[in-house]
Amino acid sequence: MLSISHLYVYPVKSLGGIELSSARLTDRGIEHDRRWMLVDEDNRFLTQREFPQMALLRTAIHANELTVYEKGNEVDTISVNLYQPSGSLINVQIWDDMCEAIDMSDTVNKWFTEKLKRICKLVYMPDDSKRKVDTDYATADELTGFSDAFPVLMIGLASLDDLNSRLETPVPMNRFRPNIVFTGGTAFEEDTMKHFQINGIDLYAVKPCARCVLTTTDQETGITAKEPLKTLSTYRTGNNKVYFGQNILYKNEGMIKVGDELKVVQTKATLQLNT
């Protein structure tokens, strides 16, 4: 049986995630997932790709607040309202998309600027800001938050086990920042899922996830290296991209939790990879 083993939410794009026992799928992913993002002075998004030290900024949710702190310095924190952040509305850029977002206060922005040692601002995507999924893969004008492209990323534990069996030093799942991790089945079984259900919710694996240098950043230290991307490139490459995990869309909203079964309804051909 395939079942959910871990659930994760990443409230601020490219900052530390939070492990959950249950999660609500909303109109644009797991509730609170990547609804916040850091942008530079030109309102362009920032990620660990350019600033791996972002991994050391951790997030926590308490009641109606989102709190951010630096690893090893849990006393120095900054908090924002979880449900109704206030501020001025600005246009921000994430990849090729322009979105409306709420700029947080000068106090919040100063805190992040000091931590990252560069001018930056924290912004929030309000409900009326609609960022649509790529029409080449969307089935019903689905939305996403400030994720790279899709509302949910899913990976099987067996896939990570397969990768780690090839590495000199195993890596944890947090290198890949999934929302849903499942146990059971075979390595890369997620590649063959076309339509599956969790707790009555219909989900669809619509595009393999192309991986970048972010996977080479140790999420505990912020230090970058060559692995696991170097090894993945030897057996998970297609169309000049390295794939690990599946991007997911879904039809209806609802709750999912650790232990829920994944019921595969329809499969598809496995990825064509260069080995």
138 and 257 share one domain: yes
Tokens 């909203």, residue located: 253
The Cα 58–Cα 135 span in angstroms is 33
Residue 183 lies in a domain: yes
74 and 63 share one domain: yes
Q: What confidence tens digit (pLDDT) does each residue in 48-63 have? A: 999 999 999 999 999 8
19 and 141 share one domain: yes
Buried b (16+ CB within 10 A) or exposed e, 176-214: bbbbbbbbebeebbbbbbeebebeebebbbbbbbbbeeb
The Cα 237–Cα 257 span in angstroms is 32
Q: β-strands 29-30, 97-103: how paired?
A: unpaired
Q: Of 110, 128, 146, which residue constitutes the final position of a domain?
A: 128
Tokens 């939305």, residue located: 143
Residue 259 lies in a domain: yes
Q: What confidence tens digit (pLDDT) does each residue in 75-115 have? A: 999 999 998 788 999 999 999 999 999 999 999 999 999 99
49 and 158 share one domain: no
74 and 15 share one domain: no
122 and 181 share one domain: no
Residue 44 lies in a domain: yes
244 and 188 share one domain: yes
Higher pLDDT, 273 or 32: 32
37 and 172 share one domain: no
Residue 230 lies in a domain: yes
Q: Is the per-residue pLDDT at 275 higher than 80?
A: no
Residue 77 lies in a domain: yes
245 and 154 share one domain: yes
Q: Identify the CA nearest to 37 among candidates 107, 117, 91, 114.
A: 91
185 and 208 share one domain: yes
Q: What is the DSSP string of the chain?
A: -EEEEEEEE-SBTTS--EEESEEEEEBTEETTTT-EEEE-TTSBB--TTT-GGGGGEEEEEETTEEEEEETTEEEEEEEEESS----EEEEEEETTEEEEEEE--HHHHHHHHHHHTS--EEEE--TT--EEPPTTT-SS--EE-SSSS-SEEEEEHHHHHHHHTT-SS---GGGT--SEEEESS-TTGGGGEEEEEETTEEEEEEEEEEP-GGGGB-TTT--B-STTHHHHTTTSEETTEEEEEEEEEESS-EEEETT-EEEEEEE-PPP--B-
Q: What confidence tens digit (pLDDT) does each residue in 124-169 have? A: 999 999 999 998 999 899 999 999 999 999 999 999 999 999 999 9
13 and 138 share one domain: yes
CATH number, position 158:
2.40.33.20
Residue 272 lies in a domain: no
Tokens 């969307």, residue located: 138
Q: Of 88, 106, 128, which residue constitutes the final position of a domain?
A: 128
The Cα 105–Cα 116 span in angstroms is 17
Single-letter code of the amino acid located at 254:
G
Number of domains in the chain: 2
The Cα 140–Cα 253 span in angstroms is 14
Residue 165 lies in a domain: yes
144 and 227 share one domain: yes
What is the band of 172 on the pLDDT scale with cuts at 50, 70, 90? very high
Q: What is the pLDDT of residue 64?
A: 93
Q: Of 113, 128, 143, which residue constitutes the final position of a domain?
A: 128
What is the band of 270 on the pLDDT scale with cuts at 50, 70, 90? confident
Domain span at 141: 2-29+133-267
Structure tokens at 147: 């994720």
Residue 273 lies in a domain: no
Q: What is the pLDDT of residue 163?
A: 98
